[in-house]
Amino acid sequence: MVKEIERAGIPVVHICTVVPISLTVGANRIVPAIAIPHPLGNPALDASEEKSLRRKIVMNSLKALTTEVEGQTVFEE
Amino acid sequence: MSKKIVHYINQFFAGVGGEEKADIKPELKEGVIGPGMALNTALKGEGEIVATIICGDSYFNENVEEAKATILEMIKKYNPDLFIAGPAFNAGRYGVACGTIANAVQEELDIPVLTGMYIENPGADMFKKSLYIVETGNSAAAMRTAVPAMANLALKILKGEAIGSPEEDKYIARGIRKNYFAKERGSKRAVDMLMKKLKGEEFKTEYPMPDFDRVEPNPAVKDLTKAKIALVTSGGIVPKKNPDRIESSSASKYGKYDISGFNDLAEADHETAHGGYDPVYANIDPDRVLPVDVLRDLEKEGVIGELHKYFYTTVGNGTSVGNSKAFATEFAKELKADGVDAVILTST
């Protein structure tokens, strides 16, 4: 899906936990996530901490979208 | 004397449990468990599984280095003649785990390895060049054909026999070229092929072109504060009760849902339809997969221009590459027509 969105001319960032799969699939902008069943959350945290964790990942993905890349790039925090 | 084999399987095939047990750490059991029994039988006493290592698929993929180190230690003390992982069929995390651990055993312990999976498993693309991966069907229903194929290759490796071509020994082509004497010279074979092509008959190339389907990255978003951002997910988030009945695996459709009335997704209004991960956390708070709450905040704060009115969703669980491509080709056109400037796609 990532590739078809990119092919349509829309920049896309892939937030995912298993980065090697994303690299194999061919995503260009990749942001690592927390865990498979909760990529943008952590049930061990309290609600406000969890939301700020989620915000951090989303902000990182926005950074990825506003960064010019040549080929596949993983945006670690 | 029969040769020693160590077998790797996931929590599901070990009978430990489904997704709720996908986070179990590696465990070592003496003897054979689950699919290993059929493999043992097919090895006809020439090879025997002496130990089975079980690991949760999520644990492995979320803790690759630790899992790898622990499992390598477990294998070392048996000093087996062969290591077999899977078969993983079309289970993505399982396939990646099988490929990763088999590759590590081959590289670091210098022990021959073998695994099996469906051609679309992401683990196949990642490891087909370095490993023998027997090509299996896409679900455990194909166990009956996978076991004899894996046993056949296992015996060849154990006995040090020459491995045949991918077609002969039913493994995924590794891209290795081997010299052999053909019956006819190249020029004749090429002309024969050309003649068949001209007649519209079927012919088989001797050198299939590799399939590099890469898409160049698009230019970055220039001004976020004016950008319309859309959310897409393969994590199966849907309105409560899954109105379009998107399948929990091998999805045949995607959904498009209006989120203009939501500042935050909650247990009461959304859930996940995905059958390939433990749904508990996503069901309690769907924002953990589709971060609507944070994007609404960013919209209000003016960090982004706006959050697109609709999100698109499907279940990325054993869903074919063909279907996923078709879904996204279709909705990407809509996104474009709706003036979406960028997409955030989340996967579980």
- 10-residue mean pLDDT profile of chain A (77 residues): values are 96 95 93 96 96 97 97 92
d(CA B78, nearest CA chain A) in Å: 30
Q: How confident is the model at residue B280 (pLDDT cuts 50, 70, 90)?
A: very high
pLDDT tens readout for residues B16-59: 999 999 999 999 999 999 999 999 999 999 999 999 999 999 99
Residue B321 pLDDT exceeds 80: yes
Between positions 160 and 219 of B, the ones with CB within 8 A of A are 213-219
Both structure tokens of B198: 């001209």
Given the cut 0.95, state whether the ipTM is greater than it: yes
Residue B293 pLDDT exceeds 70: yes
CB atoms within 10 A of CB B216: 10
pLDDT the model gives residue B210: 66
* Partner-chain residue, chosen from A10, A25, A43, that has the shortest CB–CB distance to B218: A10
Burial zone of B234 (CB within 10 Å; 0-12 exposed, 13-18 middle, 19+ buried): buried
* Partner-chain residue, chosen from B61, B126, B281, that has the shortest CB–CB distance to A41: B281
Angle between helices B292-300 and A47-65 (to 10 degrees): 70
Using the beta-carbon criterion (under 8 Å), do B294 and A51 form an inter-chain contact? yes
For strands B306-307 and B228-233, give the pairing: parallel
Q: Could you tell me which chain B residue has the CA closest to the CA of A44? A: B281
Nearest 5°: phi and psi at B230? Answer: -110, 150
Q: How confident is the model at residue B212 (pLDDT cuts 50, 70, 90)?
A: low
- H or E stretch at B205: none
Averaged pLDDT, B152-174: 94
Residue B12 pLDDT exceeds 70: yes
d(CA A51, nearest CA chain B) in Å: 7
pLDDT the model gives residue B177: 81
pLDDT the model gives residue B42: 95
Dihedral (CA of B312, B313, B314, B320) sign: positive
Using the beta-carbon criterion (under 8 Å), do A37 and B297 form an inter-chain contact? no
**Counting runs of H as helices and runs of E as strands, what totals does chain B give?**
11, 13
**Is B86 within 8 Å of B9 (Cβ atoms)?**
yes
Using the beta-carbon criterion (under 8 Å), do A10 and B341 form an inter-chain contact? yes
pLDDT the model gives residue B213: 81
Q: How confident is the model at residue B178 (pLDDT cuts 50, 70, 90)?
A: confident
Name which residue leads in pLDDT, B182 or B112: B112
User: How many Å apart are CA B130 and CA B13, to the nearest integer?
Assistant: 25
Does residue B77 sit in helix, strand or coil? coil
pLDDT tens readout for residues B140-161: 999 999 999 999 999 999 999 9
Q: Which of B169-178, B233-242, B261-270 has the lowest mean pLDDT?
A: B169-178
Within an 8 Å CB–CB cutoff, is residue A18 touching chain B? yes
User: How many Å apart are CA A18 and CA B64, to the nearest integer?
Assistant: 10
- H or E stretch at B152: helix B143-159
- Cβ-based contacts of A63 with chain B (< 8 Å): none
Q: Provide the domain count of chain A.
A: 1
d(CA B218, nearest CA chain A) in Å: 5
**Is B220 within 8 Å of A67 (Cβ atoms)?**
yes
Averaged pLDDT, B77-97: 96
Print the domain residue range for A17: 2-74
d(CA B109, nearest CA chain A) in Å: 23
* Partner-chain residue, chosen from B125, B213, B224, that has the shortest CB–CB distance to A62: B224
Within an 8 Å CB–CB cutoff, is residue A46 touching chain B? no
Q: Which domains are delineated in chain B? A: 3-169 (3.40.50.2300), 224-346 (no CATH)
pLDDT the model gives residue B175: 84
- The strand pairing partners of B239, in sequence order, are B270
Rg of chain B over Cα atoms, rounded to whole angstroms, equals 24
Average pLDDT of chain B is 94
Averaged pLDDT, B252-263: 96
User: CA nearest B86: which of B46, B38, B120?
Assistant: B38
Both structure tokens of B169: 């020994």
* Cα A62 → chain centroid: 9
Nearest 5°: phi and psi at B262? Answer: -120, 130
